[in-house]
Amino acid sequence: MPPKAKVSREEILDKAFELTRKNGYENLTARLLAKELNCSTQPIFHIFENMDHLKAALYEKVRLYFSEVMTKPSTDPDIPLFLSMGLSYLELAQTEKHLFRLLCMSDSFQLNSLYELAGKDIPSLDSKVVTKMWIFTHGIASILATNTTVLPKTEIRELLIEVFQDFYHGKPD
């Protein structure tokens, strides 16, 4: 009898992250994960009670990844953190479609705001501005993540900056 494969929690989550990134959250199974880790499903279920627990841990790993990317300071000093976060969110929707769908378009989990996703407190912006920007930004991100249309990055950036300035400076609705 061959020795049991030893796989760590982190190795399982890393592989689940990689498979989700490549194939989508809905295609992640214990058998596929075990095959990719070159083990049986037993080590997976020894560490995680069931797939729901594994997927909850995966969700948190993806949220932390998005948080890290979104909170990197902009290279443009004229762009405030809030706007920079929105631009990063849109880029992630476009480049990490499967991870974005898990995090922001899944019935399994719920986010209340861009700040919750990024793990940041809301800066001193009017809550109405934050709500409007969240709705606008998420709308564009959903379009990008589902390939509904193609928007050039420069156009997306200009749109987000323009709308942010309109909302922030109190232009009429």
Give the mean pLDDT of 67-91: 83
Give the chain's domain count: 1
Domain of residue 119: give its range: 9-167
Distances (CA, A) of 34 to 8, 51, 76: 12, 12, 44
Look at residue 16 and tell me if it is in a domain: yes
Residue 173 has a pLDDT of: 45
Report the predicted TM-score, pTM, of the whole model to 2 decimal places: 0.80
Look at residue 172 and tell me if it is in a domain: no
Element (H, E) at 74: none
| CATH number for position 61 | 1.10.357.10
Look at residue 1 and tell me if it is in a domain: no
Tens-place pLDDT, residues 114-153: 566 656 555 556 677 777 888 888 888 888 888 877 788 8
Q: Which H, E and C letters describe 5-58, residue by residue?
A: CCCCHHHHHHHHHHHHHHHCHHHCCHHHHHHHHCCCCHHHHHHCCCHHHHHHHH
Look at residue 3 and tell me if it is in a domain: no
Look at residue 72 and tell me if it is in a domain: yes
Identify which of 25-29, 115-119, 126-130, 167-171 has the greatest average pLDDT.
25-29
Look at residue 173 and tell me if it is in a domain: no
How would you class 91 by CB atoms within 10 Å of its CB: exposed for 0-12, middle for 13-18, buried for 19 or more? middle
